[in-house]
């Protein structure tokens, strides 16, 4: 049991949407279904899973939810609804933070450069 807690401590608390591609197909389908609803209760999720083009059996849904919760892909709200835990891509955050200090166009930098003397 202590090993499980140590594993959880090593995992990031949330993942990027780009990381979804690493999930097995069943877990990816469950995540996509939840993300379409933003947050969803178990009964509604079960109905959605049964009505997919390839229906998900309840036992498979339960197993996928358990794994996604343990791995930090999902959280459960106080109202027992499931919600995806995704973060923005880090490089976008960096670009947003620097957007005020960096020129938007390379030519702005070239034009602002001091002109050399013609001698």
Q: pLDDT tens, 37-89?
A: 989 999 999 999 999 999 999 999 999 999 999 999 999 988 899 999 876 54
Residue 10 tokens read as 């090593």
In this structure, the strands spanning 81-84 and 39-41 are antiparallel
Percentage of the chain exceeding pLDDT 70: 61
* pLDDT tens track for 47-61: 999 999 999 999 999
* pLDDT of 93: 47
- pLDDT score recorded for residue 82: 95
pTM of the model: 0.62
As a whole number of angstroms, the distance between CA 48 and CA 56 comes to: 9
- Average pLDDT along the chain: 76
The pLDDT value recorded for residue 20 is 84
DSSP code per residue over 52-97: SSSPPPHHHHHHHHHHHHHTTSEEE-TTSEEEE-EE--HHHHHHHH
More confident residue, 98 or 36: 36
What pLDDT, on a 0 to 100 scale, did the predictor assign at position 19?
79
């Amino acid at each position: 049991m202590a090993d499980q807690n140590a594993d959880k401590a090593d995992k990031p608390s949330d993942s990027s949407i780009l990381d979804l591609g690493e999930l097995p197909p069943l877990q990816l389908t469950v995540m996509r279904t939840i993300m379409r609803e933003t947050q969803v209760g178990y009964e509604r999720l079960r109905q959605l899973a049964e009505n997919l083009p390839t229906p998900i059996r309840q036992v498979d849904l339960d197993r996928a939810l358990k794994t996604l919760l343990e791995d930090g892909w999902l959280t459960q709200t106080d109202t027992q609804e499931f919600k995806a835990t995704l973060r923005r891509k880090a490089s976008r955050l960096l670009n947003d933070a620097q957007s005020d200090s960096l020129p938007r166009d390379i030519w702005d930098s070239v034009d602002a450069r001091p002109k050399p003397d013609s001698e």
